[in-house]
Structures are given as structure tokens and as C-alpha cells.
Amino acid sequence: MADIFSALKYAIPAIVVFITVYLVLKEFFNQELKKRQLQMLEEKHKLSLPLRMQAYERIILLLERISPRNLVMRIHDHKMSASQFHGTLIRAIRDEFDHNLSQQLYVSSKAWEMVKNAKEEIIRQINTSAGQLNEKATSTDLSKKILEVSTGKPATYKAIEYLKSETRKSFL
């Protein structure tokens, strides 16, 4: 019996030390794992932040380029008929949009939906304006009609404002 007590006298402190060391090492390794995960997340963020910011910039540029005033001023050719100009405007909007489709990866679904809605609204305005003209109308007539229909804030304004607010929340 004395041998058992003698053995326990050495075994119990050793077990306590072992358990303590195990728990301390376990906590240390968990903390190291968390640090590494945080570092990886920071590196990932450093890489993706410029891409995301560039995406917001490109989408705002897209919206500015397809806004009726800018679009008409940039593309207008007085030698075209209204129907030719109408086709050119619609094609330009679709080309701009298609060129920036990949940017939707970097913005929220709601922001991208607003961009699509703005594009569709501008196309609708152009189609409505073209439908109100006769067959002999010129591109100048269509330009005037589009600018009349799109008085006030353009359809792109709301989307741009949303993108700006989302950018401020994400990056500032």
C-alpha cells in the first residue's frame, strides 16, 4: 500500500503538469492558427481591395457613359437618320454594358441590379423617343427628343448614388 502511495506521490504531479502543458500548448497553437488565418485574410483583402475599387470605378464610368446626355453628345452624327442613330445608341449601350459584365463579381447583387435597371430604363427612353418621330426624322431630331424625355436626374443617377454609398461603407 505504501508503494501505491509512493507511486501516486510522483504520478499525480506529473499528470497535473502534463495536463497543464497540454492545455497551454493547445491554446498556443489555437492562437497561432487564428493569427495565420487573420494574416491570410488581410493578404486576401489587400489583393481584392484594389480590384473591387476598380470595379466600382468602372461601373460608375459605365453609368456615366450611358447616361442620355453623355451618350447623345458622344455618339451624335448629324449625317445619320434617326433610325440609324437609334440603332447606334442602343448598340453603344449594350456594348458598354457587355464590356463591364465581369464587374458584377465585385459589387453587391442589389448594386448590379440597379445598374441593369438603369441600362434598361435608358434603352426604354431611347426607344420611346424614337417611336415618337416620323420616318424622315434626323439624328438631331432624335437627340432633341431624347434630351426632352430625360430631363431631370437621369436613370443612372440612383444607381450611381447607391454605388457611391456602398463604396463608402466598404472602403472608408
pLDDT at 172: 67
pLDDT band at 127 (very low <50, low <70, confident <90, very high): very high
Q: What is the pLDDT of residues 113-123, one digit of tens each?
A: 999 999 999 99
Write out pLDDT tens, residues 73-120. 999 998 999 999 999 999 999 999 999 999 999 999 999 999 999 999
Q: Quick: pLDDT tens for 6-42.
A: 877 888 888 988 999 999 999 999 999 999 999 988 8
The whole-number average pLDDT for the span 150-159 is: 87
Q: Using the predicted structure, report yes or no on whether residue 152 has a pLDDT greater than 70.
A: yes
> What's the pLDDT score for residue 48?
80
Comparing 29 with 3, which gets the higher pLDDT?
A: 29
Q: What integer pLDDT is reported at residue 156 of this predicted model?
A: 92
Which pLDDT score, from 0 to 100, does residue 38 have? 92
Q: 136's torsion region: left (phi>0), alpha (psi -120 to 50) or beta?
A: alpha
